[in-house]
A and B are shown apart, each in its own frame.
Chain A
């Protein structure tokens, strides 16, 4: 009995020692930026993209002389997609590794509890956020640059529909939304714009992930003659639904997809069936602002990649914003950076941002559509790469 307890104490002390002398101790010269991402678990795929984006941008920055003349060092922990771990690891980065800057996390369910932590520790937190609800809690240190704002997601898509004469627009909508915060965030813009455009919402349902089968959803939409089909889900159910729509020969005039249609895997898995699907995004590789053009060029040169994934662009934009604050205040004082970001415009690959009191830029969205297997921007007019296909051609 006594032996076992002393073992316990030894192990405990040993472990504290190890953790305290952890690998990423703050050093004098480099600027350390740290945080966590879900490198394993259900969110791993996008997390890896974000990681690559972060690494790339840090390398680029270092190649140009670093931040404030100092090299930047990246520390990323694996939070396995668990919000508890994300909180704990953010604290670790801040209090043990004593990072100079905090890294934005993923997905929104992890970002949400980290935002109050950043607030308490007074560290600027630039990330995708957790949709509108997370930005209305009064956290002053959090910024979405760009945010993943479900509430803005379909704004552009509907505005694009508006550009067509009223008699050509769809009249009846079938709305299927996944039952999670991302999905429910989509509803506000759908409500607003269907009213504005005089589109009747015939079906409005939420479904739980994973979706058991998409045929009933599509069947119902077909039977009710809905010519606008909104599939507010993610990749797996999105693919299922498209397949079902094709199999059941359901041809709406417009087909909106929540998330998932703006990645290469969409075309890879669906081929030409994935065409003409409309979606939204806060970043796209085809954006022609100078910052993004430079990024695409550099990515091609350095990584030999022909295309840049949405989240890659996001992660670069987040770092750009944070670094702009650092350079702008010529220092690492988080409160000064926060105030600077409020007062200044920041140029990123996702656009130029001016932040409001909530830490958000003005509502914006870029509307995408898959054309011939490639993702094109179709709205707004000043940034689009393609006019957009309407109505959606029938399945082949």
Chain B
């Protein structure tokens, strides 16, 4: 648990570097790059948002939700539905992603209490099933477009402006989520969640009201993907059950976070960014199947050498290094 304090105090240089990076990213669209880069980074930001949000319930609390894409999809559908039914203006549509987040949070609240009573893999499976059920129900309800899906009329601006707008929006959402998770890591909520992950019975004896904070974590972890989903619907201008409830997305965000190291804001960030970028390289440079094979071997390789994720690996080395320094100094 001592590692948590690492992220705190004496990190002025890191803080400036962080602000620098954010500023660079925010100003990037101004150099009029090819919109593809804006789209690509938008996708990276999106995955960071998803991974970090998932981290709240998965990495910190240790409850691996394998159905998180459902929240994303629900947010997407909320926005698409509202825009179509109420003929919303572009700004209103963007703002409608917030109700999307609330819809997702509400659903999380409703299913959270019963599901969070389950442990470990059972929670994983029940969340995955829940995502399937949502997917299939949405497929069958014609009011929401059924299998055909929903179309959203695109914004009237030129494309690079549109891409720039979504880029900034997702960047903002990403920063928001990262800051939130970072804050949470050091807060009582965060510590409580970690205690639950380590040993739930002990947490209960310590007076932590586990059902309540688990549900809170779950709701929080659902809200941001809901908002992201709402934004994404407008970005794509077309959604269908198949592409917003894709179970592979659920699995991918779990893996991204664990790959980078769950339970730390930086871990989820590293995982999401690295895997997204690696995937991008591979599809650009390498033949299709080989790319996939390399991608798969990456997972295998990293886990073999860093079984607890990348963050943990570096942390341990740092601890060893610090310990060695201490020893040599004494």
Contact = CB atoms under 8 A, between A and B. Distances in A.
B238 A113 contact: yes
B287 to A, nearest CB: 8
Contacts of A87: 39, 236
B36 A78 contact: no
Q: Which 4 A-B pairs have the closest CB atoms?
A: A95-B34, A39-B288, A120-B159, A78-B288
Contacts of A39: 288-289
B236 A113 contact: yes
A184 B238 contact: no
B183 interface: no
Contacts of B285: 23
Contacts of A22: 284
A179 B284 contact: no
Interface stretch (B51-59, B101-109, B145-153, B186-194): B145-153
A77 interface: yes
A82 B238 contact: no
B266 to A, nearest CB: 7
B238 A116 contact: yes
A181 interface: yes
A88 B284 CA distance: 12
Interface stretch (A9-17, A221-229, A257-265, A342-350): A9-17
Contact of A16 (B37, B237, B246): B37
Interface string B21-34: 10000000000001
A336 interface: no
A133 B147 CA distance: 12
Interface of A: 1-2, 4-6, 8-9, 11-12, 15-16, 18-20, 22-23, 39-40, 44, 77-80, 82-85, 87-89, 91-92, 94-96, 109, 112-113, 116-117, 119-121, 133, 137, 179-181, 183-184, 208
Contact of A92 (B18, B40, B159): B40
Contacts of B147: 179-181, 183-184
Contacts of B34: 91-92, 95-96
B91 interface: no
B222 interface: no
A53 B242 CA distance: 28
Contacts of B154: 116, 119-120
Interface stretch (B92-100, B121-129, B204-212, B273-281): B273-281
Contact of B37 (A19, A89, A112): A19
A39 B283 CA distance: 10
